[in-house]
């Protein structure tokens, strides 16, 4: 092998490693983003339930 061929192999391996690392980072960021969205949705749902219960009980007991 020539020095140029060795350099090509090292360059390719480096790009492959960097590409795999970037993919892992992207996957981790995606999971974190989805988790954060889930947490926001859960908080909004809980808040909506609290508001609904408060609105329902603020009118007092229903009379038949």
Q: Over its length of 64 residues, how does the chain's per-residue pLDDT go in tens digits?
A: 788 888 888 888 888 888 888 899 888 888 889 888 889 888 888 888 888 887 776 555 655 5
**Would you say the pTM of this structure is higher than 0.85?**
no
41-55 pLDDT per residue, tens: 888 888 888 888 877
Distance between CA atoms of residues 43 and 60, nearest Å: 27
At residue 1, the pLDDT reads 74
What 8-state DSSP symbol labels residue 54?
H
Give the start-to-end residue ranges of the domains of the chain.
Answer: 1-55
How far is CA 20 from its chain centroid?
Answer: 19
């Amino acid at each position: 092998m020539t020095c140029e061929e060795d350099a090509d192999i090292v360059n390719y391996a480096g790009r492959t490693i960097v590409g795999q690392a970037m993919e892992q980072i992207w996957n981790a960021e995606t999971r974190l983003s989805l988790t954060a969205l889930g947490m926001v949705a859960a908080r909004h749902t809980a808040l909506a339930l609290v508001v609904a219960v408060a609105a329902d009980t603020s009118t007092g007991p229903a009379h038949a």
